[in-house]
Each structure stands twice: as structure tokens, then as C-alpha cells.
């Protein structure tokens, strides 16, 4: 069923999707995201002045304006630009100052249109240009910029320089009104910016798709505000500016973007910076079952993506062979029903025997090994047989894999589990069940970054996660996204399965975030 849907996956191209068989007025809207190769400050730590700062930022804004015009020609109703795309990055708190615009705290009620009222506040030149772009393109516009807000020294949290500096997303309506601003909550080593004292829960309404939620880059890995927007504000559409540094095999930008849309059954509009020297690429427009994305670590080009997506993602269907097919998310797989779980025994198997367990025929213990994957110490077992069933645990998380290799190859795969606190480049608790291609033929290469694979593997992967927040990730050769055939909860287990892949498997993982244990 899902094999036929691969005709909707077009990496590396700018495209507009038109599905004439299913278009109904009010049921779809046209979205655009732009992966921008920013013109950067050659010396970001040097002090400058407002005029030189504006000169640099206007060069990037010129590019933005051209993309708005192009998106408007394709009927886009909303466009999203990436994090740091206007001013760049690697500033100090002092050197970024002249790159910051002022946004009034009362923006939500002010109904200010910077394009029509350019002199209402000082230091708002970037906001003015963005507002005029939205107005000219007659589309909603989301862009990331640096902002400043004066504070009183009597404020115990006020920095010594007397101002707050924020990593900010600004949202403009189609007539140029500044609707909202979101200040990034989860900063990623961004020493030029402050964390807001209270979490911004930013939701804005549109006439074409109702409510959108807003957050930025690293926020996607945390409960606040990302999950709160979806759970407490019933958001079905997310705009997501990012400057995401890719990390294989599980956390490339397109993997987490795809997994978030799939896991929460929402639409995600994600715009990333393009900078291959910093491993930054990967933008897309995602519905629960379709991906329109761009990922290119070889070229240095930017990319505009335009796609038509459903207003109500939970009712999404897709066309295959001229017939309407429904996305299934609950599936009674026999393996789920036939394999009993004993968490206590499972924990002892890992801690005492350091072994995984085969569930085919006799209970055969398979020697486990340890290897680092994405800075975490995973427990692995090799996947060496033509087909089999494996069980592997870490603490009370037990992972299960049923697999069959469609064509024999010399490539080494490993089945791994991690259940613990990730502490490098951020601190957060994860539970992961993963089938990954190793970098070579020795066990110590398992967990390395891999981009190519030739082995076609049918699999069913599941685990008894302690968290309800689990994201299915499926990546194939040449960093190409795939969707599982089925995924979701079955009793106490989260699962996904896939058959008949068209290219080699790089990584298949269930990535659980146990937010309460952060």
C-alpha cells in the first residue's frame, strides 16, 4: 500500500503539489518554506554599528523578498523562513546588539503594521521590510530575527546591560500586521540571547487553516512549548524556523521534522538554514503521511519548497493507483500478541548476561556489545541472520525486532537500545529502540554516521516505552525519508513496521522522549 505513495517524495527539488482528484475548496492550503544559504558576517564577534548591521541584513532580506514573490506566483498563503537567516550566527552578546530590532511587549494587542507605520518605534527596520513583504505577497509570513527589550535594573532578572536580547520569531498577517512574536525557550549555546522568564505559548489564527503554533529549532526536543501547544491549545499546524546541525543516524533535521508530524498527527512547516560546513540542511513541509522536503549536504544552494496540504491533517488520505487509501495507525501484529514480556527478567538479561535474546525457536542468548551512538552508550546485538526475532532491554525498556533481509549483503546491522539521560549538547531523557546500519564490518563501527546502504530489510519494531511520546524515524540510503506501513500504540507497546522498501535501510528507530525525567 505505502510503496505506491513514494511518488509524493521529491527531495532536492522545488515543487508545487496539485492533486486535482481530491482538491476541495477550504480543505487544503498552499504552504511555502525556504531553506536559505545566509550571507554571513565575516567577523561576527567584532563590534559594529546599526548602519553596517542593516547593510548585511538587507542583503539577506533582498533574497527573502524574491522568494516571497516566487511563492506568491505559486499561490502560497503562508511562508516560513529559517532561524538566524537574517543576521547569521556566532555573535557575542555585545556584538549582536546593532543587529537587534525592537518589538513592543504588547504586540498581541497593538495591531501594529510596521509597513504602514514605520516610525512608530525606533530600530524596527527589519520588521518593516518583513511586514511589507507579507503585504506585497498577500501571505502570512514567519521569520526569525534578533530582538531587544529594555528592562529596569530593579528587575532581579534584568541583565547588567539593561536589556533583554531574544531569539525571536515574528509572525505577520497577509496585510502586514505584526500578529505575534515568539521568543525561543530552549537556547542551544546561544550566549548572545536570554531565555524568557516565562514560556511563550504563541498561537495565531489564519482564514485558511485556523490555528498555527510557533517554536524554534532546539525547542522541538522539549515539552515546553512544543508539546504544550499541541496538547493544550489543540494546534494542528506548526511553523518551525531552525538552524539545525544534522546528526546521523537518528537526528537529521528531516528525521525529527518527519517524526514530529507523524507522532503528533499534525502538519509541520520547517525551514532550516543551509550551511554544509556546519552540517546544516534539511527543510520540508510535512503532513502525517506525506513529505515534501529538501536535503543536500553536497551543494551550496538554497531551496524554496511549495506544497498543498490538508487543513485537517487527521482526516488526511492519499491517492494510490487512482484509489483513495486511508492511513492506518493501529494494527494487530501477531508478534505483539505472541511474545510475552517480563520487565524484571528483561532487565536482568542485560545487566547480568549482557546478551540479547532470540525469540525464534529455542531461547538463544546472543552476545551483546556496547557502542557509542550520538554520544550515548547503546547496548547492541548484531543482526547477522537472514531473518529472525530479537529482544533487547535496558532497564525497564524492552525492544523487539522481527526482521527479514530481502537480499543478502555483507553490510553489518545492529539492533540497539538506550534508556537514559542524554547529556552532550543538551540534557534530555530518551528511550530508543533502533535498527541501524553500521559504518563498517566491525562492531565498533555501529552507531557511526552512515548515509548509504544497499540492504533491503522488512521489519517490525516495537517496545514497551515508559513515555507516551514516541516518534517513528525511518531513513533510507542517500538520506531519504520513508514512512512506516503502520505505526502507533497497541496496548503497552509502540510499534512500526515496513515492507518492500525501494532503497537500502540506514536507520529505523522509535525515538521516545520521557520529558518528565529531564
Helix axis angle, 125-137 relative to 50-73, nearest 10°? Answer: 10
Written as nine digits, the cell of 459 is 521489519
pLDDT tens, residue by residue, 65-113: 999 999 999 999 999 999 999 999 999 999 999 999 999 988 877 899 9
Rounded mean pLDDT, 147-165 = 95
Tell me what percent of the residues of the chain surpass a pLDDT of 90.
82
Cα–Cα distance measured from residue 145 to residue 54, given in angstroms and rounded to the nearest whole number: 12
* Residue bearing the bigger pLDDT, 11 or 229: 229
Cα–Cα distance measured from residue 50 to residue 174, given in angstroms and rounded to the nearest whole number: 28
What is the domain partition of the chain in residue ranges?
Answer: 28-317, 369-517
In contact, 114 and 131? CB cutoff 8 Å: yes
Q: Is the pLDDT assigned to residue 394 strictly greater than 70?
A: yes
Residues taking part in catalysis:
83, 184, 217
Which pLDDT belongs to residue 321?
34
pLDDT tens, residue by residue, 305-351: 999 999 999 887 544 333 333 344 443 444 433 444 444 434 444 44
φ, ψ of residue 484 to 5 degrees: the values are -65, 160
The two counts, helices (H) then strands (E), for the chain are 7, 29
CATH 3.30.1340.10 fits 28-317, yes or no: no
pLDDT tens, residue by residue, 11-53: 333 333 433 334 445 899 999 999 999 999 999 999 999 999 9
pLDDT tens, residue by residue, 453-462: 999 999 999 9
Which pLDDT belongs to residue 345?
38
3-state DSSP call for residue 329?
coil
From residue 165, give the alpha-carbon distance in Å to each of 53, 180, 244: 16, 17, 21
CA 168 to the chain's CA centroid: 18
CA 293 to the chain's CA centroid: 12
Which pLDDT belongs to residue 326?
38
Which pLDDT belongs to residue 21?
36
In contact, 290 and 261? CB cutoff 8 Å: no
- Asked which of 193-202, 292-301, 331-340, 456-465 is least confident by mean pLDDT, the reply is 331-340
Which pLDDT belongs to residue 371?
98
**How are beta strands 428-437 and 413-422 bridged, if at all?**
antiparallel
- pTM, two decimals, is 0.90
Cα–Cα distance measured from residue 403 to residue 437, given in angstroms and rounded to the nearest whole number: 14
Amino acid at each position: 500500500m505505502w510503496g505506491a505513495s513514494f511518488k509524493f517524495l521529491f527531495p532536492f527539488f522545488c515543487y508545487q503539489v496539485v492533486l486535482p482528484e481530491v482538491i476541495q475548496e477550504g480543505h487544503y492550503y498552499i504552504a511555502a518554506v525556504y531553506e536559505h544559504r545566509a550571507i554571513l558576517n565575516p567577523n561576527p564577534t567584532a563590534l559594529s554599528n546599526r548602519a553596517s548591521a542593516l547593510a548585511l541584513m538587507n542583503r539577506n532580506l533582498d533574497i527573502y523578498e524574491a522568494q516571497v514573490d516566487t511563492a506568491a506566483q505559486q499561490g502560497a498563503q503562508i511562508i516560513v523562513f529559517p532561524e538566524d537567516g537574517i543576521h547569521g550566527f556566532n555573535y557575542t552578546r555585545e556584538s549582536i546588539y546593532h543587529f537587534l530590532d525592537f518589538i513592543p511587549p504588547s504586540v498581541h494587542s497593538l495591531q501594529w503594521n510596521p509597513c504602514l507605520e514605520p516610525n512608530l518605534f525606533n530600530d524596527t527596520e527589519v520588521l518593516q521590510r518583513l511586514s511589507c513583504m507579507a503585504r506585497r505577497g498577500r501571505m502570512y509570513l514567519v521569520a526569525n530575527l534578533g530582538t531587544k527589550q529594555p528592562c529596569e535594573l530593579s528587575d532581579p532578572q534584568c541583565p547588567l546591560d539593561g536589556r533583554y536580547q531574544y531569539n525571536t520569531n515574528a509572525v505577520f498577517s497577509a496585510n502586514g500586521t505584526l500578529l505575534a512574536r515568539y521568543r525561543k525557550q530552549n537556547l542551544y549555546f546561544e550566549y548572545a540571547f536570554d531565555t524568557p522568564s516565562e514560556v511563550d505559548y504563541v498561537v495565531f489564527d489564519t482564514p485558511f487553516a485556523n490555528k498555527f503554533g510557533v517554536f524554534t529549532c532546539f525547542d522541538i526536543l522539549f515539552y515546553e512549548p512544543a508539546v504544550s501547544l499541541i496538547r493544550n491549545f489543540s494546534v494542528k499546524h506548526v511553523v518551525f524556523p531552525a538552524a539545525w546541525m544534522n546528526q546521523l543516524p537518528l537526528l537529521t533535521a528531516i528525521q525529527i521534522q518527519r517524526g514530529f508530524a507523524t507522532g503528533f498527527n499534525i502538519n509541520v512547516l520547517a525551514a532550516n538554514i543551509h550551511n554544509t560546513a556546519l552540517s546544516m540542511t534539511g527543510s520540508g513541509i510535512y503532513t502525517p503521511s506525506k513529505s515534501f522536503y529538501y536535503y543536500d549536504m553536497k551543494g551550496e544552494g538554497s531551496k524554496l519548497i511549495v506544497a498543498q496540504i490538508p487543513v485537517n491533517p487527521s482526516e488526511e488520505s492519499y491517492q494510490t493507483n487512482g484509489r483513495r487509501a486511508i492511513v492506518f495507525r493501529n494494527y494487530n501484529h501477531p508478534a505483539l500478541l505472541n511474545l510475552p514480556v517480563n520487565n524484571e527478567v528483561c532487565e536482568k538479561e542485560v545487566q547480568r548476561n549482557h546478551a540479547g535474546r532470540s525469540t525464534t525457536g529455542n531461547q538463544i542468548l546472543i552476545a551483546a556489545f556496547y557502542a557509542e551512538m550520538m554520544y550515548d552508550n547503546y547496548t547492541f546485538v548484531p543482526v547477522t541472520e537472514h531473518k529472525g526475532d530479537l529482544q533487547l532491554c535496558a532497564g525497564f525498556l524492552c525492544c523487539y525486532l522481527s526482521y527479514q533481509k530481502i537480499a543478502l549483503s555483507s553490510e553489518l546491522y545492529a539492533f540497539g537500545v538506550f534508556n537514559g539521560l542524554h547529556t552532550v549538547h543538551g540534557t534530555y531523557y530518551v528511550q530508543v529502540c533502533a535498527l541501524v546500519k553500521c559504518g563498517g564490518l566491525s562492531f565498533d563501527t555501529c552507531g557511526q554516521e552512515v548515509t548509504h546502504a544497499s540492504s533491503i530489510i522488512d521489519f517490525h519494531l516495537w517496545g514497551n516505552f515508559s513515555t507516551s511520546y514516541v516518534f517513528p524515524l525511518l531513513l533510507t540510503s542517500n538520506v531519504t525519508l520513508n514512512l512506516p506501513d503502520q505505526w502507533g500504540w497497541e496496548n503497552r507497546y509502540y510499534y512500526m513496521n515496513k515492507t518492500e522498501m525501494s532503497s537500502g535501510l540506514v536507520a529505523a528507530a522509535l525515538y521516545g522522549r520521557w520529558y518528565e525525567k529531564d
